[in-house]
Amino acid sequence: MELGIYTFGDITPDPNTGRAISTTQRYAEILAAAKLADETGLHVFGVGEHHRLDLPISSPAVVMAAIAGGTKRIRLSSAVTILSTLDPVRVFQDFATVDLLSGGRAELIAGRGAYIESFSLFGDDFANYDALFAEKLDLLLKISDSERVTWNGRFRSSLSNSQISPRPAGKLPIWLGVGGNPESALRAGELGLPVILANISQPPANFVSQIAAYRQRHGERGHDASTLKVAIATHVHVAKDSADGP
């Protein structure tokens, strides 16, 4: 089992004082938290993507690159990358860059996102919510598999033997982030991708059936067993000792 932490970088006002810290301060705290997580032996540090004033991390890869310079061993991940409203070529290039800067420690969690503001922001139609994600995931995986790509799709211009550079230090781990939709977990199994259950509003026990279905589909499709991985995002209370309860 591996343990990690993630952040959305929220600057929500304190409910008691009404005061909120600056984005600059929150970024500094994130870098410090990642350094501490690295030093204490945690396995993963994740950075979420949002496009809101109260959640001011719009580019996880940029923050991950900054973290890479101050850490040595911890893996760095998005949590998640909203692939539906991004260009897969640029996403791969950004994360490959982080991977090279960090000595092969970058990971990418691709998801459809829990908020919808990025659709209008980048000119995508929310009515194509799932179709956009499916097409862009297909292209992202093809880019990951080959440094030259020929591809055609509905929402993006085609590629013809196009060179995608830079290439990561090794194989860039790509996870599928799902929010509780059983079909999403099955898609991960179909494609042979590791899956993370990212719905923090429900207890992990609620996802048992989805995980079982994912494992079954993954096995039925004959994928490499090394890609059969399950992660769960959930809440945890941290105290100095067991006497300090939540």
Residue 236 pLDDT class (50, 70, 90 cuts): confident
Q: Give the chain's domain count.
A: 1
**Does any domain span residue 232?**
no
**Does any domain span residue 211?**
no
Main-chain phi, psi angles of 140, to 5 degrees? -60, -45
User: Which has the closest alpha carbon to 159: 171, 149, 169?
Assistant: 149
**Does any domain span residue 225?**
no
**Does any domain span residue 19?**
yes
**Does any domain span residue 180?**
no
**Does any domain span residue 183?**
no
Instruction: Name the residue range of residue 69's domain.
Output: 4-172
Distance in angstroms (rounded) separating the CA atoms of residues 39 and 204:
28
**Does any domain span residue 129?**
yes
pLDDT(234) > 90: no
User: Which has the closest alpha carbon to 178: 164, 168, 193, 163?
Assistant: 193
CATH number of the domain that residue 72 is part of = 3.20.20.30
User: CA distances (Å), 69 to each of 59, 74, 104, in order?
Assistant: 17, 11, 13
DSSP assignment letter at 40:
H
**Does any domain span residue 196?**
no
Compute the average pLDDT of residues 221-226: 94
User: CA distances (Å), 184 to each of 25, 65, 175, 181, in order?
Assistant: 36, 29, 12, 5
Q: Give the model's pLDDT for residue 245.
A: 59
Q: Give the model's pLDDT for residue 244.
A: 62
